[in-house]
Chains A and B, each alone.
Chain A
Amino acid sequence: MSAPVAPFPQVDHQRAVFADGLALDCGMAIAPLAVAYRTYGRLNAARSNAVLVCHALTGDQYVAEPHPLTGKPGWWESVVGPGKPLDTDRYFLICANVLGGCMGSTGPQEEMTDAAGRGLGRPWGTDFPNITIRDMVRAQKRLVEHLGIARLLAVVGGSMGGMQALEWAATFPETVFAAAPIATAAYHSAQNIAFHEVGRAAIHADPAWQGGRYWEAGGVPAQGLSVARMVAHITYLSEQALTRKFGRRLRGDTNPRGALTFLEDVFEVESYLRHQGSTFVRRFDANSYLTITRAMDYFDLAAERGGDLAAAFRGTPTRFFVASFSSDWLFPTAESRAIVRALNAAAANVSFVEITSDKGHDAFLLDEPDFHRALGGFLAGCADRLGV
């Protein structure tokens, strides 16, 4: 805890840079706009097989390849690849690091610019503007246009990625043939905002946070960010999943007799969470975490339409695939069902399944054959219809 933790190393990311920048919902503009991204598979001649994958809060563009910092496999390799539900032999997959992220897209860790787009020689840090899910989507739209794609076959995403999929369909309906919001909601619930706030409070409470200007001391608020990750990680799992993985097992090596100690990890679940926290700080920026959690908290598709979610989709040509997981208490099935009912009220074409799983919110990232079959079948049906 005492030794300062250095920021994670910078690596080169594939990026598209837009000099004219992006106007944000908050009224500010940010220029230039950088969007870091990865693609998989091949764009066909008709440019009709592009699928945009939207990542979750702490995900990034490295969907189906080893991560450049951690060396770990891509976060959705169970779903993306040749012959998989998002079949890279058939579709051209795009995934962009979100606006506000820390894997190469414009975000708090990147160099701050003035109104004319001139670099100011310091990171944005907490001066990075408040962004929304729609701002993230607009940044992605720029990338999609840059890649020469007029219409996406589908936008697919889980959790915060699902919010983006919904926002894409609501904001650019003609650009999205199909949308697959998974394990998500049309607004962030009070409980979810509350959990986010605990994470933010932990970051703020870390002396190394330095009011957000931690780069000046060459360190990062590792302790605070780690605690934020630990809290969040609990919300991604379920009681059954934790019980199955760890139960009440004690750490045998350090504490063979289960003697009472308060000085170190006693239960396996504790060391697991600590490990999650400590590895997270090696790839994620604290100010990005603050920025993106805020964007999720602001998200409420119905709010600006007088509370009528169906109004966001009335007359939409987009086809929807909504999926939830039975043990997900962060984005429970009831919230997916609310989306489905709003889509029905809007006379939209929608498919919906609740997948039985005891793995909690994280189930959308894991090996869930029923989910994969349903998602793959939905997408294949859309592709067939478009003649892809």
Chain B
Amino acid sequence: MPEAPTDHRHDGDRPGGRPAPRGGEITYVAKNMRLDLRLIAEMVPPGATVLDIGCGDGTLLAHLSAEKGADARGIEIDMAQATQAVAAGLAVIQGDADHDLAFYPDGAFDYVVLSRTLQAVERPREVLRQMLRIGRHAIVSFPNFGHWLLRWQLLSKGRMPVTETWHREWYETPNIHPCTIRDFFDLCRLEGYEVVRWLAVDDRGLKAPWTRSPRLANLFGEQALFLLRRGRR
């Protein structure tokens, strides 16, 4: 399958994961920060405790620490990136979402962030459970496999889609669990997670205006971003 950049993890040639949005369509939270990271940063209130899973070189952590006075920590699977983050004075450990979350105590963080990594973990459902166990909120971003271009390519060519976002062949991709926006809504319902906010962005980096229709967002949204809260049951 072609690939969506899994956070920063397997995408050495494109450290930002995706090209910078063209034009000045969106409000810049921070220069040179990946779009979804900027949107995530907007969701985190000042002074929060944050765990960023798949934090890469720590761009988001550095921003949250400096701009929001957050107590921000990270986990990164890639040793070179983890070392770079630590060398920048950030509290980052080398580890991975599937194996290291279990060791954190309940409610240790206000926000647990997983950006563009969910589709690449071994057990996404378990990772989400852990996120909402150790954090009061979870912020999850993922590339939407329901985007119209992917659907069209599969329909017209009968082959796994290859796009800018999903660019690695099916036999090489680390993205073993792709899902659509509607799939993700279903999982949240199944697990009893409250969707506090959600949004989709198109391939130009614009916030998609389809927040009232998950079906439209699922067709035109290239990336999805969810803010979840543990359910009350």
> Provided the pairs A370-B83, A374-B87, A377-B86 are in contact, do residues A351 and B105 lie with their beta carbons within 8 angstroms?
no
- For the complex, give the distance between the alpha carbons of A349 and B70 in Å: 13
- Contact partners of B91 in chain A: CB under 8 A: 319, 349-351
Please pick, from A319, A342, A352, A356, the residue contacting B93 in the complex, using a CB distance under 8 A: A352
Please pick, from A322, A352, A356, A384, the residue contacting B89 in the complex, using a CB distance under 8 A: A384
Do B90 and A345 touch (CB < 8 A)?
no
- For the complex, give the distance between the alpha carbons of A45 and B47 in Å: 31
Decide if A381 is an interface residue (CB 8 Å cutoff). yes
Decide if B26 is an interface residue (CB 8 Å cutoff). no
- Contact partners of A351 in chain B: CB under 8 A: 86, 90-93
Do B105 and A345 touch (CB < 8 A)?
yes
How many residues on chain B are close to A (CB under 8 Å)? 20
Min CB distance A112 to B, Å, is: 46
Min CB distance A380 to B, Å, is: 6
- For the complex, give the distance between the alpha carbons of A342 and B103 in Å: 7
Do B93 and A347 touch (CB < 8 A)?
no
Q: Which chain B residue has the least Cβ–Cβ distance from A319? A: B91
> Provided the pairs A344-B104, A374-B86 are in contact, do residues A354 and B79 lie with their beta carbons within 8 angstroms?
yes
> Provided the pairs A341-B103, A344-B103, A347-B108 are in contact, do residues A376 and B87 lie with their beta carbons within 8 angstroms?
yes
> Provided the pairs A349-B73, A351-B93, A384-B89 are in contact, do residues A341 and B79 lie with their beta carbons within 8 angstroms?
no
Interface code A313-353, partner B: CB below 8 Å = 1, 0 otherwise? 00000010110000000000000010011101111011111
Candidate in A319, A342, A350, A352 with the most chain B CB atoms within 10 angstroms: A352
Decide if A280 is an interface residue (CB 8 Å cutoff). no
- Contact partners of B173 in chain A: CB under 8 A: none
- Contact partners of B73 in chain A: CB under 8 A: 349-350
Min CB distance A343 to B, Å, is: 9
- For the complex, give the distance between the alpha carbons of A322 and B86 in Å: 10
> Provided the pairs A341-B100, A345-B104, A353-B83 are in contact, do residues A378 and B89 lie with their beta carbons within 8 angstroms?
yes
- For the complex, give the distance between the alpha carbons of A378 and B89 in Å: 4
Decide if A275 is an interface residue (CB 8 Å cutoff). no
Q: Which chain B residue has the least Cβ–Cβ distance from A373? A: B87
The A-contacting residues of B in range 83-109, CB under 8 angstroms, are 83, 86-95, 100, 103-105, 108
How many residues on chain A are close to B (CB under 8 Å)? 29
Min CB distance B94 to A, Å, is: 6
Do A377 and B93 touch (CB < 8 A)?
no
The A-contacting residues of B in range 52-90, CB under 8 angstroms, are 71, 73, 79, 82-83, 86-90
Do B83 and A373 touch (CB < 8 A)?
yes
- Contact partners of A342 in chain B: CB under 8 A: 103
- For the complex, give the distance between the alpha carbons of A354 and B93 in Å: 9
Q: Which chain B residue has the least Cβ–Cβ distance from A321? A: B86
Do A340 and B93 touch (CB < 8 A)?
yes
- For the complex, give the distance between the alpha carbons of A322 and B83 in Å: 11
- Contact partners of A356 in chain B: CB under 8 A: 79
Q: Which chain A residue has the least Cβ–Cβ distance from B73? A: A349
Please pick, from B71, B82, B90, B108, the residue contacting A381 in the complex, using a CB distance under 8 A: B90
- For the complex, give the distance between the alpha carbons of A347 and B71 in Å: 12
- Contact partners of A384 in chain B: CB under 8 A: 89
Candidate in A337, A345, A353 with the most chain B CB atoms within 10 angstroms: A353
- For the complex, give the distance between the alpha carbons of A351 and B89 in Å: 9
Decide if A292 is an interface residue (CB 8 Å cutoff). no
21 A-B contact pairs sorted by A residue (CB < 8 Å): A322-B93, A337-B95, A341-B100, A342-B103, A344-B93, A344-B104, A347-B105, A349-B71, A350-B93, A351-B86, A351-B92, A351-B93, A352-B86, A352-B92, A353-B79, A353-B94, A354-B79, A356-B79, A377-B87, A378-B86, A378-B89
5 additional A-B pairs beyond A349-B73, A376-B87, beta carbons within 8 Å, are A342-B103, A351-B92, A352-B92, A353-B86, A370-B83
Q: Which 3 A-B pairs have the closest CB atoms?
A: A381-B89, A377-B87, A352-B93
